[in-house]
Chain A
């Protein structure tokens, strides 16, 4: 069994998992409107972390966010990161891309390479292994966890530290603006009046290990899958093909009654949410509660899969299904069960779903105490 032993979320809503969960449970969001920010001509709504939290000028803000998140997670895990049996897997889409801006000084250009960025982080923690960076667009955070499960299962390593990060910059925001993918207001996942996504900063970390058996309070990464739509590089499949196939694989023959909720990608773009509704319905999950956390954090890209998995574990630990902030009226073609308020649950399993550019989709089934 692959078991989660520690985690952290570093975001505008807090620097620890507990602070983040308390804020989200109370319905708080860090989404704000920014005008003239980073010299961008067009205003945008985003969830941005206070840059003054990060003062160590040997590391970029992206690196510092990861280092903070990993260090916090390590506080509750008794492991020696200098051991060759510990592997670091990073999940990011754009890493230090802001260094390409000619006005940026103070760091060597090579730090724009994701592998170099990852080396800064592992060297901070004195880890001897070459770090692996999963860069699979918006599904990276679940892919990195699947990669961790596989390396632990194979016995290659005893602990894997999975950290997801993306910190917003003019590069990313202007790109999504050029795509007309950003919402001019706070995003409304699955809602009839949704107009696109918001972007967000975050770093999030989960530490996994392998155990013979799990106790009823331990979280187990049960099964994960990655599937492609084989349809379009920047638009999701109209049949939810890859997402449906990933879901089908992770569900296997388990009893769907055991699933507390599906934590969807739910970016609030018209196409993504429609596609997910089709995949969820095709997989027989239309009665299962569905939520999205983008209304609290925006789309945190490489961090999303890790952050949203942690928040979902926290919610079940609290016997709670989180509300989909921003959602009022169902605006997708399939009649799925999107939550608009926090609601109690006694169930102990959830599914994390993600989809991204390149036609990729990922699903992860997490269970508390195995599948009993």
Chain B
């Protein structure tokens, strides 16, 4: 197994293969700035919750660094991400729509993001990945434990590479992505 590229994003920086991007914003505004300066052709971005925005932007930077994009459908690439807080921001947001019985307005648009694996679906849709997608929650950001779980995923003989790593978000201002491409 070999790790080919790596993208790190936290609330005030983004680093692609060791090189920091020039950015001025912070928090979710930073994600929008990266979207506008490096992506720009996927308006669905603006509908996403912060975890999905983070995963989308990080995976775009990662795939741009991999080489020319052709968006051909493929089944040999998996997307397997990990975090600590699952979909906590979306959960808290949805809970606020039902907390008060006098002001009860449950929103389907908010509810759909109350699953951590929506982001793996967003990445699969964008890139036409029919391969495995999975989300695993662990209490610590433990790269060894993640690698153990990723390496066994190659037992699926169709899987030749994985977009894997850490993707965590507690609210609009607090998040961390550390994702990479792992080749078989």
Contact = CB atoms under 8 A, between A and B. Distances in A.
A112 B138 contact: no
A256 interface: no
B95 A113 contact: no
B137 A135 contact: yes
A102 B99 contact: yes
A228 B129 CA distance: 7
Given A97-B91, A114-B137, 4 more contacts: A134-B137, A171-B94, A171-B95, A228-B132
Contacts of A343: none
Interface of A: 39, 41, 93-95, 97, 100-102, 112-116, 118-119, 130-137, 143, 147, 149-151, 153-154, 156, 170-171, 174-180, 225-234, 241-242, 245, 249, 356-360
A186 B133 CA distance: 32
A356 B120 CA distance: 12
Contacts of B117: 135-137, 356-358, 360
Interface stretch (B2-10, B17-25, B60-68, B142-150): B142-150
B interface: dominant SS? mixed
B65 to A, nearest CB: 22
A98 to B, nearest CB: 10
B86 A357 contact: no
Contact of B115 (A135, A174, A232): A135
Interface in B152-169: 152-153, 155-156, 158
B112 interface: yes
B153 to A, nearest CB: 7
Contacts of B73: 230
A228 B124 contact: yes
Interface stretch (B28-36, B103-111, B172-180): B103-111
A199 B54 CA distance: 31
A230 B134 contact: no
Contacts of B130: 227-230, 241-242, 245
A133 B116 CA distance: 12
Contacts of A175: 94, 106, 108, 111, 114
A358 B52 CA distance: 11
B132 A130 contact: no
Contacts of B122: 233
10 contacts: A41-B101, A115-B139, A135-B86, A135-B136, A137-B117, A143-B134, A174-B98, A176-B111, A230-B125, A242-B130
Given A151-B152, A226-B133, A232-B125, A100 B92 contact: yes
